[in-house]
Structure 1
């Protein structure tokens, strides 16, 4: 089981004036503790269930660039990018840039987006769900085309690109790590089977059934189910211990997942989050 730390809350005791130094120390500490993945949300307001919307939130790709500069080994990506926030070519270029500058450690996590309140507040277009899924599939196709070295046009129903040049190319070949987040059975998991290196599903009593659905989609498109990395997301809080997290992670592994991304709720001291995750990793091993 690989462990990732998903940074979902930047409202720390250090305060905004020391957030840069606190984040740098946090990610260095996570790497030193053996945590293999570091991710951030692609949101601009804090999410319900984690904190008030006014809590501190950093823009994802600027934050990933900062994190890349302060780490050496960890896989980095968003968990996950909302497809409505960036034009596909800009997204592909941003991920490529970070992949190159990080020595091949940055990938793409992407999903169909869901936070209508945030979008309305900040002026992002928020199309109906069917349109967002069309955007998602075409964005993935465009990213893969740009990463393949194919400089030809792209002519989709939503996006039309005249020349998909992408230089320099990503260091990770055949393309950067590609995760699709979400557990929708008809569309999301079908796209995972068709395009992705990994899925990410919030762990619940429905997780085993979701993986069965993914297996069915793999059979339908002729994809080897075992090629796809199955990753889960779980929260911790101030009452969590290494032992309680380890027990959950054992259940996650038994269900068929091979990586767990852990995010903290109500834990304003980043070092405490790393301690719980690293302790759980030691117990699971």
Structure 2
């Protein structure tokens, strides 16, 4: 099993003056702890289920570029980019640039998008659900073209690109993760276009995940895709207990508790768990993270 870290809050102590240095330390700690991947939310406003919409939120790809400069091995992605946030060709050029500058460590994390409030707030169009899924499928098709140096004219359902030139090419073709567990559309797109799915431990748990993966397997059969080619990832809340105070309601895990919980997710079919920690800025937490990484490997 591989472990990753998702950072969803940037309201660091002393922010915004401290934000750059704090994020630098988080990225370095994650890299040195042996985590496989580092992810940020790609939102403009904070999500209501995490904090107040007015809480500090950084733009995703600028943040990842900063992390790329101070890390050596860890892979980098957004969990996930709403397809409405950037024009598809620009998004793919951005991901390619991150891949080149990081030496081949970028992911394309993408989904249909859902956060209407931030679109309305910043004046960005927010199409209907059906239109967003059409845009998502066009973007996935265009990604396969642009990442393979095919600049022939592309005409999709809603996107037309006369010459989708993408130079330089990625150092490594960025793996594509489609976020969400929608059984009719989202998991079909995973089967058809993606290298990884992303499910949520919260709400599904080890008991509910196998059903989603069974649905994914059915879609793979329908499109002639090898189910085993797809990495099964999930986002889980997992905070290591260093003895320092934690936010109210947050349970700190020992190494043994973390290994047990991750083992249950592994038994459910997950091979890459992306952890959302409540104490990402606690340097001491990463010594425990490193032990967990070693144990679950």
TM-score normalised by length of structure 2:
0.91
Match of 1:252 among 265, 284, 288: 265
CA-CA distance at 1:254 after TM superposition: 0.5
Any idea what the Cα deviations from partners look like across 1:195-235, whole Å, max 9, x if unmatched?
11111100223211000000000011010000000011101
Task: Trace 1:2-81 onto structure 2 (pairs within 5 A).
Answer: 2-81=2-81
| Matched positions, count | 282
Stretches of structure 1 that go unaligned for 5 or more consecutive residues are: none
Counterpart check, 1:261 vs 2:263: no
Residue pairs, 1:81-230, within 5 angstroms: 81-172=81-172, 175-203=173-201, 204=205, 205-230=207-232
Corresponding residue number in structure 1 for 2:289:
277
What secondary structure, in the 3-state scheme, does the structure 1 residue paired with 2:275 have? strand
Residue 230 of structure 2 corresponds to residue 232 of structure 1 = no
Report the CA distance between 1:261 and its aligned residue: 0.3
Aligned-partner Cα distance in 1 for 2:48–2:215? 28
Bigger shift: residues 143-152 or 80-89: 143-152
Query: Could you tell me how far 1:270 is from its partner in structure 2?
Result: 4.0
In 2, distance between residues paired with 1:268 and 1:115? 25
- CA distance, structure 1, for counterparts of residue 119 and residue 256 of structure 2: 39
Where do 5+ consecutive residues of structure 2 fail to align? 240-245
Q: CA deviation at 1:283?
A: 4.3
> Which whole-Å CA distance do the structure 2 matches of 1:152 and 1:283 have between them?
47
SS of equivalent residue, structure 1 residue 110: strand
Q: CA RMSD in A?
A: 1.5
* CA offsets 1:61-90 (integer angstroms, 9 cap, x no match): 100110100111011111100000000100
Compared with structure 1, are the counterparts of its residues 178 and 268 closer, same or farther at alpha carbon in structure 2 (3 Å cutoff)? closer
Q: Does 1:243 align with 2:256?
A: yes
If the length of structure 1 is used for normalisation, what is the TM-score? Answer: 0.94
Instruction: Give the distance between the partners of 1:178 and 1:253, measured in 2 at CA.
Output: 21
Query: Is the 8 Å Cα contact of residues 45 and 53 (structure 2) preserved in structure 1?
Result: yes
